[in-house]
Amino acid sequence: MTALSSQAIRQYLIVTGNYWGFTLTDGALRMLVVLHFHQLGYSALSIAMLFLFYEFFGVITNLVGGWLGARIGLNKTMNIGLSLQAAALLMLTLPSEFLSIPWVMAAQALSGIAKDLNKMSAKSSVKSLIQHGAEGTLFKWVAILTGSKNTLKGLGFFMGGLLLNLSGFQGAMWLMLSLISLVLVLSLILLNKELGVAKNKPKFTEIFSNSRAINILSAARLFLFASRDVWFVVALPVFLSEHFKWDFWQVGGFMALWIIAYGFIQTLAPVVTSRRDGKTPDGVSALSWAIALATVPLMIAQGYEQQSVLLGGLLIYGIFFAINSSLHSYLIISYAREDGASLDVGFYYMANAIGRLLGTVLSGLLFQFWGLEACLYLSATLIILTAVISIALPRDRSC
């Protein structure tokens, strides 16, 4: 018996297509906001604050969204996410003089809710489409979904920088609104209406995980993503623009290539991390790769003002981070309960969102007062915390 039926494959492709379309607009919007408001003279800390509600509401959405997905179905939560993204883009089509900080933060809040509803729905749906016990197949399909999403996010970064040059901020918003509206219409028509609905309706009190493995993995994920965003979200694009005098399309292009390469490596994670004993990765794998990752930002910090050192180091960081992220993405789907997987996945991505919120605020704060070097040293510290937490993860998960 195959691990995926033809109907399951069709639904997997629809979910992936939804995720791709959303991710293009999400990546482009992030780059557009950073570069446009830097162009308007906003400080690094002020730009970071524009993303505060984006990340904060991601925390709330993941916590409640998993419960909501189990009760009403992942079809509905995914389509709600697409609709909210369309609303956020529409809010940002106003002329620049009307784009006050509170207005942009409110639009970013909607986008943050949309992003995490979409991600939780996509990741959780894979659990319902894969046969129970097919751990190797589960790792493969989660890696493909996650890796391809990040490749599209990279293209979104490039698209954001390019659209800012070609059509301006408002023009870019209208183009992306058209794209996400098309994706929403197709999703409403094609996506299975019963996708991910739990057989036993969970109570609201079940939004917090009782699984020790999931709690440990969630804590590790929090520090892992804080370690990335502490330099990636604000500090890096502003540094490239200020220190190396790069144009917007160059900043967007490099960030895009980084994310694309990162996504490609994620799809290869099942091959890279395969074990000789035939078993799928476990807590030991997560610990080993976290230790390897911690050395990279320390290396970059020694010569980050040289373009070759910074760019080369970031590419190496991307490879190791991609493996870490892919391992975590597989482990949470593997650890999640069979019925109502979105509850566990939502709780886990709540921790992910807290890490991103922490990293985003610290990225603007540290860069404004102490520069990129401080961001890199804190990144290494946070990865070491990830490794320490990973020691407690379960071991020896079978195929």
Tell me the per-residue pLDDT of 89-126, one tens digit each, with 9 for 90 and over: 999 999 888 888 889 999 999 998 998 888 888 877 77
399 in a domain, yes or no? no
Per-residue model confidence (pLDDT) at position 349: 83
Cα–Cα distance measured from residue 360 to residue 165, given in angstroms and rounded to the nearest whole number: 25
Q: How confident is the model at residue 12 (pLDDT cuts 50, 70, 90)?
A: confident
- The residue-averaged pLDDT of 65-75 equals 81
- Summarised one tens digit per residue, pLDDT across range 125-153 is 776 666 666 667 777 777 788 778 778 88
28 HSE (CA, 13 A, CB side): 29
Q: How confident is the model at residue 174 (pLDDT cuts 50, 70, 90)?
A: very high
395 in a domain, yes or no? no
Torsion (CA) 109, 107, 175, 240 in degrees, nearest 10 = -70
398 in a domain, yes or no? no
Q: What is the CATH number of the domain that holds 198?
A: 1.20.1250.20
Q: Is the pLDDT of residue 234 over 60?
A: yes
Cα–Cα distance measured from residue 128 to residue 136, given in angstroms and rounded to the nearest whole number: 15
- The residue-averaged pLDDT of 173-197 equals 89
Q: Is the pLDDT of residue 397 over 60?
A: no
Which residue, 187, 185, 177, is CA-closest to 77?
187
396 in a domain, yes or no? no
Number of domains in the chain: 1
119 in a domain, yes or no? yes
The number of residues making up the chain comes to 399
Q: Is the pLDDT of residue 282 over 90?
A: no
397 in a domain, yes or no? no
- Summarised one tens digit per residue, pLDDT across range 298-326 is 999 999 999 999 999 998 999 999 999 98
Task: Assign residue 131 a region (left: φ > 0; alpha: ψ between -120 and 50; beta: otherwise).
Answer: beta
Per-residue model confidence (pLDDT) at position 339: 66
- The residue-averaged pLDDT of 195-207 equals 67
242 in a domain, yes or no? yes
Q: Whole domain around residue 226: which residue ranges? A: 6-390
Query: What are the DSSP calls for 32-77, one per residue?
Result: HHHHHHHHTT--HHHHHHHTHHHHHHHHHHHHHHHHHHHHH-HHHH
Per-residue model confidence (pLDDT) at position 1: 38
Classify the C-alpha dihedral 81-87-88-93 as positive or negative.
Answer: positive
Mean pLDDT of the chain: 86
Cα–Cα distance measured from residue 355 to residue 376, given in angstroms and rounded to the nearest whole number: 16
Cα–Cα distance measured from residue 267 to residue 180, given in angstroms and rounded to the nearest whole number: 25
240 in a domain, yes or no? yes
Residue % of the chain over a pLDDT of 70:
89
- The residue-averaged pLDDT of 186-191 equals 91
